[in-house]
């Protein structure tokens, strides 16, 4: 695969892990961040995509054939209802329009499982109703609808990767897996809910690898679940962490109230990712958790 790919959010949780698999697929990688790291493996561009005209200026400078748009507001606990979602919708539309108008060939954008109707349990791209319950989910869904329609008008092959639950190195310390690992390493008590919620977890390197595979797969368009497709209860997940860290007595089930609107089951049907994109994760759940634990141990 040859082409010049513009990667937004390239210093973020998913983005930093996507650069290597994109290079491995033969892309000339141009990465965007507000404060680019000292990493000479790709060409970095310093830009604030929320600034007026920033997206079109980048497209004009880089002249990409491919776009991987991962940038968004993602502060844990705040992103669900933050007004920044509206600003990112506008900025993303401007970026995509500039890319399409400049003759870009292939665009892949990051969506979310929050676009789905969570009462359905197992989410299938073309069957499960879309009923976002948050501003975050609504803005992502609106962006998907707009870029899909404009891409068809302009002849841009466009895919939309709906991310489910992820974990791994560089995860924000306030997120579930990283916060539990840190507390268990410190021998601190971990207050959790009943833990019967069933979810779908995928290591961040595999999430990034799936996006790289999508970027290279021009014939796969529309929504694609980026997930493992393997259900696991939070209680089972926490037991795996406690088994590795020797902290089973520190996990307090039922010491926190579960959110009243929290779905009992939220799992992806990942057949499109496996069969059409041809992507298979490198990490099993146990290997992935070991990798995350090693990362936090080293940081301590």
pLDDT(19) > 60: yes
Residue 108 shares a structural domain with residue 249? no
What one-character DSSP code corresponds to residue 247?
Answer: -
The mean predicted confidence, pLDDT, of the chain is 96
Q: How many CB atoms lie within 10 A of CB 100?
A: 21
Q: What is the CATH number of the domain that holds 48?
A: 3.40.50.720
Residue 98 shares a structural domain with residue 210? yes
Cα 274 off chain centre by: 17
pLDDT at residue 41 in the model: 85
What one-character DSSP code corresponds to residue 144?
Answer: H
Residue 86 shares a structural domain with residue 175? no
- Residue 278: exposed, middle, or buried by beta-carbon count in 10 A (0-12, 13-18, 19+)? exposed
Residue 190 shares a structural domain with residue 205? no
Q: Is 169 helix (H, G, I), strand (E, B) or coil?
A: coil
Residue 103 shares a structural domain with residue 138? yes
Q: Which domain holds residue 91?
A: 3-166+201-228+269-282
Mean pLDDT of 188-203: 96
Residue 10 shares a structural domain with residue 93? yes
- Tell whether the torsion through CA atoms of 88, 128, 157 and 31 is positive or negative: positive
**Residue 142, C-beta contacts closer than 8 angstroms, at least 6 positions apart:** 89
pLDDT at residue 123 in the model: 98
Mean pLDDT of 258-275: 94
Confidence of residue 300 (pLDDT cuts 50, 70, 90): confident
- What DSSP assignment string belongs to 177-229? HHHHHHHHHTT--EE------EEEEEEHHHHHHHHHHHHH-TT--EEEEES--
pLDDT(181) > 60: yes
Residue 62 shares a structural domain with residue 111? yes
Q: What is the CATH number of the domain that holds 183?
A: 3.90.25.10
Mean pLDDT of 104-111: 98
Residue 242 shares a structural domain with residue 212? no
Number of domains in the chain: 2
Q: How many CB atoms lie within 10 A of CB 284?
A: 12
């Amino acid at each position: 695969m040859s082409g010049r790919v513009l990667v937004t959010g390239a210093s973020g949780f998913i983005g930093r892990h996507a650069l290597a698999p994109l290079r491995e697929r033969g892309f000339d990688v141009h990465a965007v961040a507000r404060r680019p790291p000292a990493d000479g493996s790709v060409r970095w561009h310093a830009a604030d995509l929320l600034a007026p005209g920033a997206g079109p200026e980048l497209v004009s400078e880089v002249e990409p054939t491919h776009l991987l748009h991962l940038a968004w507001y993602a502060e844990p606990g705040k992103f669900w209802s933050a007004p920044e979602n509206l600003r990112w919708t506008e900025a993303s539309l401007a970026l995509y329009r500039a890319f399409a108008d400049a003759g870009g060939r292939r665009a892949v954008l990051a969506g979310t499982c929050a676009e789905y109707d969570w009462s359905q349990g197992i989410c299938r791209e073309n069957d499960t109703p879309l009923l976002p319950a948050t501003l975050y989910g609504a803005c992502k869904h609106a962006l998907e609808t707009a870029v899909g329609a404009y891409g068809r008008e302009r002849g841009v092959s466009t895919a939309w990767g709906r991310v489910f639950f992820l974990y791994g190195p560089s995860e924000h310390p306030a997120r579930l897996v990283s916060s539990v690992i840190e507390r268990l390493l410190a021998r601190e008590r971990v207050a959790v809910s009943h833990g019967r919620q069933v979810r779908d977890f995928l290591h961040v390197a595999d999430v990034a690898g799936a996006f790289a595979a999508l970027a290279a797969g021009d014939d796969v368009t529309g929504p694609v679940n980026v997930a493992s497709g393997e259900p696991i209860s939070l209680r089972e997940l926490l037991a795996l962490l406690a088994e590795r860290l020797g902290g089973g007595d520190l996990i307090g089930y039922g010491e926190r109230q579960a959110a009243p609107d929290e779905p009992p089951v939220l799992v992806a049907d990942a057949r499109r990712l496996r069969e059409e994109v041809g992507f298979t994760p490198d990490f099993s759940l146990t290997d992935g958790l070991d990798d995350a634990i090693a990362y936090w141990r080293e940081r301590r």
